Amino acid sequence: MLSIRNVDPNHSIMVTAVRYYDTDGKLLRDDNAARTLAPLASTEVFVEFKDEQGGTGAKFIVVWQADVAVNPPLVESVNAHFTGTQLTVFTSRGQSIK
């Protein structure tokens, strides 16, 4: 799951695209459905565990904008895997790119 959080307490942001790439950098999905995140609101993008298209180096690019200067959103992936009674979970924080 990809979590996108508007961490600005005063202003909304607009997420204009979420692009999903595989290990080799090939675009798998391009969600251009714009969504507005109110101050401190969140949204997510879910990828099924059974989806192996992305591979071990799958990645997302989140395109966002705001009308005024804001705190940049917090973007993290949350990965969970159940095996019997065991659960493995890890997170990975996004970083800004141009």
| pLDDT tens-digit map of 14-44 | 999 999 999 999 999 998 889 999 999 999 9
Asked if pLDDT for residue 68 goes beyond 90, the answer is: yes
Q: Are 55 and 61 in contact (CB under 8 A)?
A: no
3 state SS of 82 = strand
Reduced to 3 states (helix: H, G, I; strand: E, B; else coil), residue 62 is strand
Rounded Cα gap, residues 98 and 64, in angstroms: 12
For the segment 46-56, what is each residue's pLDDT rounded down to a tens digit? 887 667 788 88
The pTM assigned to this predicted structure is 0.85
CB 36 within 8 A of CB 61: no
